Structures are given as structure tokens and as C-alpha cells.
Amino acid sequence: MASDTAYDRLIPDLRLDGRVAAVTGAGRGIGRETARILAAAGAHTLVTDIDEQAAEETAGRIRDEGGSASAFPLDVTDEHQVAGFTQEAERDAGVIHILVNNAGIVTMAPFLDLPEEEFDSVLAVSLRGAYLMTRALLPAMRKSGWGRIISLSSMLGKTPARYTAHYSAAKAGIIGFTQAVAKEAAPEVTVNCLCPTNVETGIMEKDFEFFGEREGISPDDLRRRWVDAIPLGRLGQPLDAARAVLLLAGEAGAFTTGQALNVSGGEEVH
């Protein structure tokens, strides 16, 4: 193929050289893989997490892999910490072009047994956290003329399940937030979210425990039920979500905004 074809020019569109990316909750799980893949694509990556040591570990791993990363302790529910992070990061690294609102906590409970504080904390981390971070970083992105905001919703934000009223509400909220902000942030900044099915991270262990105690289902049986519902025949891995972030983060995602992208092996199709 001749070297000046349009395809040759498209392939580098996944590269993020010269970009600065911030990932929340990047100490483990999906956030860690996302920070690693963005750094591998060339972005200087700001690895943030409420768990400072976990953030340091992810940043250290990225540097060992040849990438560029700094770690920041950051609780996304605390607007003072969000303001402090924004000031320090923008002073040291310049404009943050890519924001991944990944931090989230999961609990399961029958709706009528759900403690009020649990409802509040799940919404605070996922939804309020995404709001505070987006509000803090969007102005500089717009001013620079380019930006990407990608938040972690969930398949449960589209098709809720039992025992997840609070979590499903938070994740449906992320979809509405994404769609509304996308219309205001255009044309400089695209705003999208991901809707993964079950992804094998620490969160899944909690599900095994909950269904084991409540319904006597063994982890193997639960896993089998979940896999049976996924046409591609396996559970999600953190890298599956990270790859979807990468597609949206570079020039490859230039004309995609306001979307809630399923990363579900075909389980969710709407």
C-alpha cells in the first residue's frame, strides 16, 4: 500500500503523544488498565485515587513500562481536593486534555434494606465525582480547543438489575450527564461514557459474596450464569474497558460524542 493513503494517516489517530490524561480511581481495576493504556499511547498520565499507595503503584508500573505518569491522592467526592488537584496538575503538567471519570464503588442491597448513607455514598463517588471533576477540568480543555471526557457508567445504567437501585441510578445518571454535557462542551470537547458488563475486578468478589450469602449461589454458578448471557462467551476484563477508552480518547474518536458505548460482549445492545 502506498505510504500516503488515508489509512496510513488514520492509524496514528490512536496515539496520544503530547496529551495529558487524568484517570480517577486508577489505583486498581479498570482505572489502572486505562491509565496504562493511555500512557502506552503516549499521554502523560495523572494517576489519581483515594488510595494514595495504589495510585503510586500504578504510576510506578507505568514508568517501569516506559511511560510517563505522576500519582496524586484524590477523593473525587471532595470539592476542595478536586480544586487542589486541578490547580497543582494544571500548573505542573499544563492543560489536562483527557479526563476519565472512573472512580466508583459498588454495593448490593435489597432496596428496602439499603441504608441511606449507602445510597448517598454510591451516588457521591460515581455521579457527583464525575460532576466535580468535569466542572473543574472542562474550562481549560475548552480554552485549549481540544478535550475528551470519558466516564464509566455500566450496563446497569441501561438495564438495571435487582439489588442495585442506588448503583443503577448512579450509572443511569452518568448517561444523562454525559449526553447533556456533550451538547454544551461541543465543538471543542467530546463527552462519552462506557457501559461495561461484569468486568473481572475486585468489585466482582463482592457480588460473589452477596449472592452466595443471600441466594446460596456458588461463585462458579454465578459466573456461569453471567457468561451464558454474554454472546462473546466470556466476562469482561479491565483491558476491554481500557481499549474502549483508548478508541474514544484520540483523534479516532473525533466525531463521537454524547454516546453511551456498550462494552458488554454483545449482552447489551441498546
Ligand X SMILES: NC(=O)c1ccc[n+]([C@@H]2O[C@H](COP(=O)([O-])OP(=O)(O)OC[C@H]3O[C@@H](n4cnc5c(N)ncnc54)[C@H](O)[C@@H]3O)[C@@H](O)[C@H]2O)c1
What residue ranges bind ligand X (CB under 6 A)?
24-25, 27-31, 49-51, 54, 74-77, 102-106, 125-126, 152, 154, 196, 198-199, 201-204
Least distance to ligand X from the beta carbon of 22, Å? 11
Crossing angle of helices 29-40 and 238-249, rounded to 10°:
40
Amino acid at 171: K
Rounded Cα distance, 39 and 133, in Å: 20
**Choosing from 7, 131, 163, 167, which is the catalytic residue?**
167
Q: Is 167 a catalytic residue?
A: yes
Least distance to ligand X from the beta carbon of 1, Å? 38
Where does residue 265 fall: left (phi above 0), alpha (psi -120 to 50 degrees), or beta otherwise?
Answer: left
DSSP secondary structure of 81-131: HHHHHHHHHHHHH----EEEE---------GGG--HHHHHHHHIIIIIHHH
Q: Which is nearer to ligand X, 105 or 239 (CB)?
A: 105
Least distance to ligand X from the beta carbon of 16, Å? 20
Indicate the SS3 state at residue 28. coil
Q: Which is nearer to ligand X, 42 or 82 (CB)?
A: 82
Q: Which is nearer to ligand X, 54 or 136 (CB)?
A: 54
Q: Which is nearer to ligand X, 42 or 157 (CB)?
A: 157
Q: Which is nearer to ligand X, 168 or 190 (CB)?
A: 168
Question: CB of 261 within 8 A of CB of 158?
Answer: no
Largest CA distance in the chain: 64
Least distance to ligand X from the beta carbon of 222, Å? 13
In Å, what is the CA distance from 46 to each residue of 59, 82, 87, 148, 235? 8, 13, 13, 15, 28
Least distance to ligand X from the beta carbon of 78, Å? 8
- Which residues belong to the active site? 167
